[in-house]
Amino acid sequence: MSANIFPAHTFLDIASAVYEKGYCVLEDALPIPLLTALQSHLQNESDLEFKAAGVGRGLEHVREELIRQDQIAWIEGESAAEQQWLDWAALLKVSLNQQLFLGLFAFESHFAHYRIGQFYKRHHDAFRGQANRVLSIVTYLNKDWQDSEGGELIIYSEDGATIAERVYPRAGTVVVFLSEAFAHEVLPSTRDRYSIAGWFRVNQAVL
């Protein structure tokens, strides 16, 4: 793997923003070759097994559908594009550990497909005390997204009282935030919306 197609300054920008304010929103942050590979991978959606994100049955499933409606496909590295994404995330992890001493260990991620009108209500990716999801990352694969098409990721302030960021899901934008600290939600859009959501975990000792 050639290091110079993954510009280190992107990783440094992410680390300093996370250090300063707990989150980072960076446009055009995904390397173009990686973005292009992921977009063409998605176009062969037949290879990918998207499943409803809510995994419960019956009433539990109905309850989950009120919260989130996207379809997801976990990324296991089974194609070159997926492997390229995992390689990039691994380099980001090393850089964040060097800069911020976060002790990030494992990484998991999935593609998400929101159809027209679908949403993910306000939620946290992790809860204080129990979770080992430390840092969330989201990136977008949607070419030529217009603001009028909606689909924003709303990031609430740490105290939950105000909106800190409204992020349109434009191709190449990368969002990183502390999983326990920031509630967020996905607003409905007037167009199919594709993202990757991932989580860096710490290695939790069994006590």
Contact residues toward Mn ion (CB under 5 A) are 125
Q: What angle do CA 26, 31, 34 make, to 5 degrees?
A: 125
The item of ligand OGA, Mn ion, none sharing an interface with residue 186, based on CB under 5 to 8 Å by kind, is: ligand OGA
Taking CB under 6 A as the rule, does residue 186 contact ligand OGA?
yes
195 binds ligand OGA (CB under 6 A): yes
Among 176, 197, 200, 201, contact with ligand OGA (rule: CB under 6 A): 197
Closest distance to ligand OGA from the beta carbon of 46 (Å): 22
Please give the distance of CA 165 from its chain centroid, rounded to a whole number. 15
Pair 120, 68: CB distance under 8 Å:
yes
Dihedral angle over CA of 142, 146, 150, 154, nearest 10: 70
Cβ proximity to ligand OGA, 29 vs 138, nearer residue: 138
Shortest Cβ distance from residue 188 to ligand OGA (Å)?
12
Which residue lies nearer to Mn ion by CB, 125 or 180? 125
CB of 145 to ligand OGA, least distance (A): 12
Give min distance, CB of 117 to ligand OGA, in A.
15
| Shortest CB 7 distance to ligand OGA, Å | 23
Nearest to 111 by CA among 70, 80, 152, 79: 70
Among 11, 85, 120, 182, the residue binding ligand OGA under the rule CB under 6 A is: 120
Q: Which partner from the list Mn ion, ligand OGA, none does 138 bind, CB cut-off 5 to 8 Å by kind?
A: ligand OGA
> How far apart are alpha carbons 171 and 152 in whole angstroms?
13
CB of 61 or CB of 123, closer to ligand OGA: 123
The residues of the shown chain that bind ligand OGA, judged by CB under 6 A, are 112, 120, 125, 138, 153, 184, 186, 195, 197
